[in-house]
Chain A
Amino acid sequence: MNAWLSQHRAALGAAFRRLWATPLNTLLSLLVIGIALTLPGFGYVMLDNLRELGQSASGVQQISLFMNLDASKKDVGEIESRLKQAATGKWHFVPKEAALKRMQANEGMAEIVASLPRNPLPDAFIIEPTNAEPAALEILRKEIAGWPKVAHVQLDSAWVKRFDAFLKLGKLALWMLAGIFAAGLVAVTFNTIRLQVMAQAAEIEVARMIGATDAFIRRPFYYFGALQGALGGLLAALLVGGALRLLAGPVGDLAALYGGSFSLRPPGVIEIAALAGAGAILGWLGAQLSVSLSLRKFD
C-alpha cells in the first residue's frame, strides 16, 4: 500500500516536473485545450442562463379565456359557474372596462385608446390551472373552447414550449460541438504524449530492463495527460468567466431597455469542476491511446 502510494505520488510529481520543464510547450498545449473547452463551456453557460430566463419569465402557466364581444352579464355568469364546476384551479374575471383602463395606463397607449370609437376589448377570464402539465392544459383548453360565447382560448404556455424546443436544439448543437472539440483535445494530448515517449525512449528502455512494470512506465504519462487536461479545463473556466464578465454590462443594459433586470450567471464551482474534470478525463484518454501505441515499439 505504501509502495503503491509513493509510486503514484512520484508519478504525479514527475508529471508536474515535465509540465514545468517545458513552459512554452505547456503554455501552448494548455491554450489549445483551454480554447477547445471554452466554446462548449461558454455555450453551456449561455444556454443555462437562457433556460433560467425562460423559467422566471413563464412563471405560472395561464389560460386566457376571451368572451365574444356581444357576451352579456348572463353569459359571463354561465362561464363562472362552469369554471366553478370544473374546479380547475384559481381564476379571476377581467371585465372589458377594467382591461381598457389597464391599457390606458400603459405608456403611449392613452391617446390611441381615447381615439377609439368604442371598447374593442372583450370580457376575459384568466385561469391558473392547478395541473400545469402541457397535456392537461391542452385538454382543458379544448374543453373551454367549446363553451358558449367563448371567442378564443389562449394557452399562454405555447411560447414556453417553443422556447423549450429552441433550448433543446441548442443543447443538441452544443453536444455535437463538444464532441468535436473533445476529439481535438484527445488528439492534442495524444501528440504531446507521443513526443514525450520518444524523448524518453532511453529512460523507458532502461527502466524496462531493470524490472519496471508497464504500469510504472505508463503512470507518469497518464498523470501528465490528466493534469494537462485539468489545467486546460481551468483555463477554459477562466476564459468563460472573463467573457461573461465582459458581456455582463451590455446584457444588463439590454435587459433594462426591455424594462427587466437580468444578469448573466458566471460559471459556478460545479461548472468549473466539470470543465476541469472533463479536461482530465479526455487528457487521460489521449494519454492512454498514445502510450499504448507508442510503447509497442519497445516490446
Chain B
Amino acid sequence: MIVASNLTKRYPGGYEAVKDVSFEITAGQMVFITGHSGAGKTTLVKLIASIERPTAGSLVVNGQNLSALRRSAIPYLRRHFGMVFQDQKLLFDRSVLDNVLLPLQIVGLPRREAIRRAQAALDKVGLLSREKALPIALSGGEQQRLAIARAVVNRPTVLLADEPTGNLDTESATEILELFVAFHQVGVTVVVATHDQNWIDRYHPNVLRLDHGRLL
C-alpha cells in the first residue's frame, strides 16, 4: 500500500528532515510514526500525502510512484487519504456540516447524497447534534473530531494524521484515539504521527520510530 525505499527529503538550505528511510505499510495496518520533536514525523506524513516531494529514493502509494507523479494527478491521489492535522485546518466561515461536505463537493457528489453521508460521518464522531454550529463554538476535542469526520466522509483507504492529539487533554485525546482504532477495525489503513508514548503502550500498533530523520 505504502512502500518507501531509501526515502530522503532535503529542504532548501541543506537540512535533511528524512534520511534514507525504507519501510512498508500494508493495507489495513495501524502504524504509528513516533520520535522526538523534529525527528521528521511531519515531513514523512507530508511526503506520503505528496504535500512534499522526495529529494531522493522512492515512495510508492497505491502502486503510484510519487516522485514521478504529474502535478495534475496529485489531487486524485490525495482523495485516497483522509487527512487530519494537528491544527485541524477547519473552515471557520461555515457550519460543521458544510465543513464535512467540502470533500464530497470536491468529488462532485449530488447534494442530497452528500448531506446524507456527511451526517453519517458526523454521527460516527458524535457531532450530529452540532451540525448547524460554527466550528468556533466547538471545544478543542470536538474540533478534532470534526476534522476526523471530514477526513473519513469520503471513505478513504488511508487515514493519515499528524499529531492529532497534540493540543488536547488526556480525555479528549483518548476519544480521538478510540476513533482511529474504530476505523482501523473496519479495515481502514491508519497512519498516525505522534510523540505520545501512552498510545503505543496501550494499543501496540506497528511503530516507525524516527530519530533525527533516520528510522531506528
Residues of the A chain whose Cβ atoms lie less than 8 Å from the Cβ of B49: 209
Q: CA separation between A142 and B79, bound complex, in Å?
A: 82
Check B106 for interface membership: any CB of A closer than 8 A. yes
Q: What is the minimal beta-carbon distance from A207 to any residue of chain B, in angstroms?
A: 6
Q: What is the minimal beta-carbon distance from B116 to any residue of chain A, in angstroms?
A: 15
- Asked whether, in the complex, the Cβ of A7 is within 8 Å of the Cβ of B72, the reply is no
- Asked whether, in the complex, the Cβ of B102 is within 8 Å of the Cβ of A210, the reply is yes
Q: CA separation between A140 and B45, bound complex, in Å?
A: 89
- Asked whether, in the complex, the Cβ of B89 is within 8 Å of the Cβ of A206, the reply is yes
Check A4 for interface membership: any CB of B closer than 8 A. yes
Check B126 for interface membership: any CB of A closer than 8 A. no
Q: Which of A58-66, A154-162, A211-219 has 4 or more CB atoms under 8 Å from chain B?
A: A211-219
Check A52 for interface membership: any CB of B closer than 8 A. no
- Asked whether, in the complex, the Cβ of A211 is within 8 Å of the Cβ of B91, the reply is no
Interface residues on A, range: 10 to 19
Q: Quick one: which of B56-84 are within 8 Å of A by CB?
A: 72, 75-79, 81, 83
- Asked whether, in the complex, the Cβ of A205 is within 8 Å of the Cβ of B89, the reply is yes
When each residue 207-238 of chain A gets 1 if its CB lies under 8 Å from chain B and 0 otherwise, what string results?
A: 11111111010000000000000000000000
Residues of the B chain whose Cβ atoms lie less than 8 Å from the Cβ of A202: 89, 91-92
Query: Contacts A206-B89, A212-B75 hold; do A2 and B110 have CB atoms under 8 A apart?
Result: yes
- Asked whether, in the complex, the Cβ of B106 is within 8 Å of the Cβ of A212, the reply is yes
Q: CA separation between A2 and B108, bound complex, in Å?
A: 8
Residues of the A chain whose Cβ atoms lie less than 8 Å from the Cβ of B93: 203
- Asked whether, in the complex, the Cβ of A213 is within 8 Å of the Cβ of B75, the reply is yes
Query: Contacts A202-B91, A203-B91, A212-B75 hold; do A3 and B107 have CB atoms under 8 A apart?
Result: yes
Residues of the B chain whose Cβ atoms lie less than 8 Å from the Cβ of A207: 102, 106
Residue from A211, A214, A216 in contact with B78 in the complex, judged by beta carbons closer than 8 Å: A211
Check B136 for interface membership: any CB of A closer than 8 A. no
- Asked whether, in the complex, the Cβ of B110 is within 8 Å of the Cβ of A6, the reply is yes
The residue in chain B whose Cβ has the minimal distance to the Cβ of A206 is B89
Q: Quick one: which of A1-42 are within 8 Å of B by CB?
A: 2-4, 6-7, 10
The residue in chain A whose Cβ has the minimal distance to the Cβ of B88 is A206
Query: Contacts A7-B105, A202-B91 hold; do A209 and B110 have CB atoms under 8 A apart?
Result: no
Q: CA separation between A207 and B93, bound complex, in Å?
A: 14
- Asked whether, in the complex, the Cβ of B106 is within 8 Å of the Cβ of A210, the reply is yes
Q: CA separation between A205 and B83, bound complex, in Å?
A: 13
Q: Quick one: which of A213-272 are within 8 Å of B by CB?
A: 213-214, 216
Q: Which of A7, A202, A203, A210 has the largest count of B CB atoms less than 10 A from its CB? A: A210
Q: CA separation between A212 and B72, bound complex, in Å?
A: 10
Q: Which of A205, A206, A208 has the largest count of B CB atoms less than 10 A from its CB? A: A206
Query: Contacts A203-B91, A213-B75 hold; do A3 and B105 have CB atoms under 8 A apart?
Result: no
Query: Contacts A203-B91, A206-B89 hold; do A211 and B110 have CB atoms under 8 A apart?
Result: no
Check B19 for interface membership: any CB of A closer than 8 A. no
Check B27 for interface membership: any CB of A closer than 8 A. no
Residues of the B chain whose Cβ atoms lie less than 8 Å from the Cβ of A214: 72, 75
The residue in chain B whose Cβ has the minimal distance to the Cβ of A9 is B111
- Asked whether, in the complex, the Cβ of B89 is within 8 Å of the Cβ of A3, the reply is no
Residues of the A chain whose Cβ atoms lie less than 8 Å from the Cβ of B51: 209
Q: CA separation between A10 and B111, bound complex, in Å?
A: 9
When each residue 42-62 of chain B gets 1 if its CB lies under 8 Å from chain A and 0 otherwise, what string results?
A: 000000010100000000000
Q: What is the minimal beta-carbon distance from A71 to any residue of chain B, in angstroms?
A: 87
Q: What is the minimal beta-carbon distance from B121 to any residue of chain A, in angstroms?
A: 13
Residues of the B chain whose Cβ atoms lie less than 8 Å from the Cβ of A216: 75, 106
- Asked whether, in the complex, the Cβ of B91 is within 8 Å of the Cβ of A209, the reply is no
Residue from B78, B92, B111 in contact with A210 in the complex, judged by beta carbons closer than 8 Å: B78
Q: A residues near B, CB below 8 A?
A: 2-4, 6-7, 10, 202-203, 205-214, 216
10 contacts between A and B (CB under 8 A): A4-B108, A6-B110, A202-B89, A205-B89, A209-B49, A210-B83, A211-B77, A211-B103, A213-B76, A216-B75
The 8 nearest A-B residue pairs measured at CB? A3-B108, A211-B79, A211-B78, A213-B75, A212-B106, A7-B108, A211-B75, A210-B103
Q: B residues near A, CB below 8 A?
A: 49, 51, 72, 75-79, 81, 83, 89-93, 102-103, 105-111, 150-151, 154
Besides the contacts A2-B108, A3-B107, A213-B76, what 14 more A-B pairs have beta carbons closer than 8 Å? A10-B111, A202-B89, A202-B92, A209-B78, A209-B83, A209-B89, A210-B106, A210-B151, A211-B75, A211-B77, A211-B78, A211-B79, A211-B106, A216-B75
